[in-house]
Structure 1
């Protein structure tokens, strides 16, 4: 995942350059949106995969912001 992919995952348009505060706000929103504890048992695995993408990969690719 590259920086552009991380920004897309957070809901920003391609080639956008959101501010650090916009990135942090979008990150927090997505983490809560995909938190596995908020999903029924049969959807937990899918939510967990997406949650890991958002909570681990995004900060690594956008590390100067975090």
Structure 2
């Protein structure tokens, strides 16, 4: 049996960036996405945002920070 890497998963860093996402959010990679850059592009299409310092934030946490 041969194992092959399935790609990269990017997880949300939470609304403040100091703790993990309360929603357990992760970007769902497309089958063709193989690098972190490609997966992050998938996430931007789904409403994810990047913050300074390379922190990723999911759509639910974006809503929390804009309240």
- What TM-score comes out, normalization by structure 1 length? 0.26
Structure having the higher Rg: 2
Which has the bigger relative contact order, CA under 8 A and spacing at least 6?
A: 1
Higher helix share: 1
